[in-house]
Structure 1
Amino acid sequence: MPGLPDLPGVSYVMPVLNEEAYLEPAVRTILAQDYAGEKEIVLALGPSRDRSDEIAARLAEEDPRVRLVGNPARDIPAGLNAAISASRHPVIVRVDAHSELTPDYTRLGVAALRRTGAANVGGIMRAAGRGAVQRAIARGYNSPYGLGGGAYHGDGVAGLAESAYLGIFRREAIAAVGGYDPGILRGEDWELNLRIRRSGREVWFEPALGVTYWPRASLADLARQFFATGTWRAVLVRRYRGANPWRFFVPGALVLGLATSAVGLALLLTGVLPWASAWPLLLAPAAAYLLGVGFAVIRIPEQRGVGDRLLTAAALVTMHLSWGAGFLRGIVFGGGRVVDRSRI
């Protein structure tokens, strides 16, 4: 790709929906970036039911670098496209209201874009929590036993990547593939990066980039979020088939295995199947999963006492089963209008 100037202007784009608890700190970390180039922030405001619009208006009044656009469709891809269309700089930084950038994020990211010639650069997502439940959920995010797979959930080595968390993009790369697909309501980052890679451009993982992510603060909200995520991952499997990594299929297979164990246990307890036979082998998936969760809880760091370990186990099980159930729903029925309702 053509070279970038030393200090290209940067446009930060952020979809906003019911984010009154997180929006202002997220914007403040952007305004505090130690990057010397020109900057702007474009907030795409969905139909929030809290004080998000009021907070956004105040931030825009205080600093002319903060600009507002509407996102009546409420969905993340539509909001990102609206914000990108309203922005003007050659570098697009996709940010999230639940995320806070380290002060050097933009400077290091732009340097990586210039050094590698990549179309998109992403770093590491560090989940954090304030209460006991949110901290347990964050531990799940930060562990390969929770989400697993993506380099941006760990401390991988810099290099070419399948996708990127958030992302620092060359504007022309986004334009060349038509922007975010408004029909993909979750997993939009992976899908966009797939099209970027298929266009002959590169996605780069840069572990020096750090982002703090504040996950959902309750298990119920986590379940809603992950069910929607699993559903739309299945849509991506249906659309792109062999381009999907094998890990997308694991939670769905887990749910099927546990369902088999549940049916087997019911038939054994009711006497339909005899215990003195090979039929108790139907319980093997559930037994293996319980052992796996126990092993993961022992290995995951930053836990204090039995209460933390029980919450970590609950967070892992919620992640796995919600994602897997959503995936099976999406494989059979498609995405429909399944959306993440945890922020409504």
Structure 2
Amino acid sequence: MPVLNEANYLREAVASVLSQEYKGDKEIVLALGPSTDATDEVAAQLASEDPRVKLVHNPMGRTPIGLNLAIKASTQPIVVRVDAHSELEPSYTARGIETLFRVDAHDVGGLMDARGKNPLQRAVAAAYHSPWGMGGAAYHNGGDEGPAESAYLGIFRREIFDEVGYYDESLWRAQDWELCLRIRQAGRTVWFDPELCTGYFPRDDFKSLAAQSYASGMWRGEIARRYPDGKSLRHDLPPLMVVGTTLGLVAWIVHPSVAQHLPPVVNFIVNLAKVAPIGYAGLVVFAAARSKRASTLEKVLMLRVLPTIHFPWAVGFVKGRLRGAQGTIDKGRVRS
């Protein structure tokens, strides 16, 4: 478990690991980044309470470095990646290991079940579950069990790291997708099991949500830049939405003062562009209204949550695609 500034979530996350309904031996290795809250104190207390909790230090604070340090410090033949912002279902480990050997896979992942502890966090969780929020990926919305391009978090046979290597430490985000690519290129199987469920608590303020979305977009653009298999149509739709919406808003502002000077065909095109922001606003309202997980208040909050996810992600993706991520950090979590 890579850990950075998670004092409010760490104890519950570790407890969900140690209380797994799994008969085999368990340990949890926490890779501690340079937190600015009480995370290190909470981690030290957890380690003093239970010898199965081990600590390694990750001075750089970057997720792939922490993951590699923790994996190398672990001793068991199965490696389960977990997140400090999440809580595992009690049967997660047993089900994941059973699936790993049942389908002869080397990496198994399941559903990221976004949850909330307050109305805004629940609105963000509802947006994550919406096909209009995070693009309809199987680990957000479910789907049939089967081979997958990538796996959320991941349950691994330990030997796969000897075979294909560890996480790429140059990828500060999206390193899980790149590792899965190497696993698949080695002829091994990455598997999605919808019965595996991990509770995840997303950001609970708009500023940190926007920062996370921007960083995610930048690194997704970096992946698309590096690897031909790293992009798909669903990654191109948010940038097209931003361009269309921006041009449409400009058209609404500028067009009335210049319309009489433009040829009819140009006026037609400009009027067509005006539809884009209306269409996007309608889509946001539709997505919020259709959410089955949100209360009335949370649906109202989703009207702001969805653009806060879409626009920073799209801008980040374009910049990452053109220039690379260039060490972009998630400023919603890391202050310096």
So what's the TM-score if we normalise by structure 2? 0.94
CA-CA distance at 1:175 after TM superposition: 2.6
Distance 1:26 1:274 in 2: 63
Q: Distance in 2 between matches of 1:133 and 1:250?
A: 26
Match of 1:9 in 2: none
Q: What do the CA deviations read for 1:218-241 (whole angstroms, capped 9, x no partner)?
A: 111110001000000000000012
1:335 alignment partner, one of 296, 305, 325: 325
Distance in 2 between residues matched to 1:88 and 1:200, nearest whole Å? 25
8 A contact 1:91–1:170 mirrored in 2: yes
Distance 1:258 1:30 in 2: 44
Instruction: Report the Cα offset of residue 274 of structure 1.
Output: 5.8
The answer as to whether partners of 1:118 and 1:201 remain within 8 angstroms in 2 is yes
Contact 2:225/2:322 (CA < 8 Å) preserved in 1?
A: no
Moved more, 90-99 or 288-297: 288-297
CA displacement, residues 99-147 of structure 1 (integer Å, 9 cap, x when unaligned): 1001110001110111111010111111110111111000011111111
Match status 1:268 vs 2:255: yes
Listed one character per residue, the Cα deviations across residues 172-191 of structure 1 (whole Å, up to 9, x for unaligned) are 11232211111111111111
Runs (5+) with no aligned partner, structure 2: none
Letter in 2 for 1:196: I
Q: Work out the number of aligned pairs and report it.
A: 330
Q: Structure 1 segments of 4 or more deviating over 4 A?
A: 272-276
Change beyond 3 A, Cα 1:17–1:263 = same
Q: Distance in 2 between matches of 1:177 and 1:273?
A: 64
Looking at structure 1, the residues matched to 129 and 169 of structure 2 have their Cα atoms a distance apart, in angstroms, of: 29
| Structure 1 residues 149-168: aligned runs within 5 Å | 149-168=136-155
**Judging changes above 3 Å, is the alpha-carbon distance between structure 1 residues 308 and 273 closer, same or farther for their aligned structure 2 residues?**
farther
Could you tell me how far apart the structure 2 residues matched to 1:252 and 1:71 are? 35
Cα deviation, residue 283, structure 1: 1.4
Is the 1:174–1:196 contact (alpha carbons within 8 Å) kept by the matching residues of 2?
no
- Indicate whether 1:211 and 2:201 are aligned: no
Q: 1:308 aligns with which of 293, 298, 317?
A: 298
In the TM superposition, 1:103-122 aligns within 5 A as: 103-122=90-109
Q: 1:71 to 1:274 in 2, by over 3 A?
A: farther
Q: Greater shift after overlay, 47-56 or 145-154?
A: 145-154
Map 1:84-123 → 2, pairs under 5 A: 84-123=71-110
Deviation at 1:263, TM superposition (A): 2.8
CA distance in 1, matches of 2:314, 2:230: 19
Amino acid at match of 1:302: R
- 8 Å Cα contact 2:223/2:230 also seen in 1: no
Counterparts of 2:323 and 2:56, CA distance in 1: 33
Superposed CA offset, 1:51-98 (max 9, x none)? 000000110111111000011111111110111111111111000000
Residue 267 of structure 1 and its aligned partner are, at CA, apart by 2.2
Q: 2:281 aligns with which of 290, 294, 298?
A: 290
Q: Distance in 2 between matches of 1:335 and 1:183?
A: 10
Contact 1:268–1:274 (CA<8 Å) still a contact in 2?
no
For 1:199, the equivalent position in structure 2 comes to: 186
Change (3 A) 1:211 1:175: same
1:172-187 equivalence runs, <5 A = 172-187=159-174
Counterpart amino acid of residue 304 in structure 1:
S
Partner amino acid, structure 2, of 1:298: A
Structure-1-length-normalised TM-score: 0.92
Matches of residues 10-29 of structure 1 in structure 2 within 5 Å?
A: 14-29=1-16
- Give structure 1 stretches of 5+ with no counterpart: 1-13
Q: Is the 8 A contact 1:94 1:166 kept in 2?
A: yes
Kindly provide the amino acid, as one letter, of the partner of residue 236 in structure 2: F
Aligned-partner SS, 1:169 = strand
Higher deviation after alignment, 247-256 or 181-190: 247-256
> Aligned match of 2:243 in 245, 256, 265?
256
Change (3 A) 1:304 1:149: closer
Give the C-alpha shift of residue 272 in structure 1. 6.5
- Rounded to whole Å, the distance in 1 between the matches of 2:256 and 2:325 is 37
Q: For each residue in 1:1-28, what CA deviation from the matched residue of structure 2 results, as whole angstroms up to 9, or x when unmatched?
A: xxxxxxxxxxxxx000000000000000
> In the superposition, relative to structure 1, how do residues 313 and 273 fare at CA in structure 2: closer, same or farther (>3 Å)?
farther
2:111 and 2:238 map into 1 onto residues whose CA distance is 23
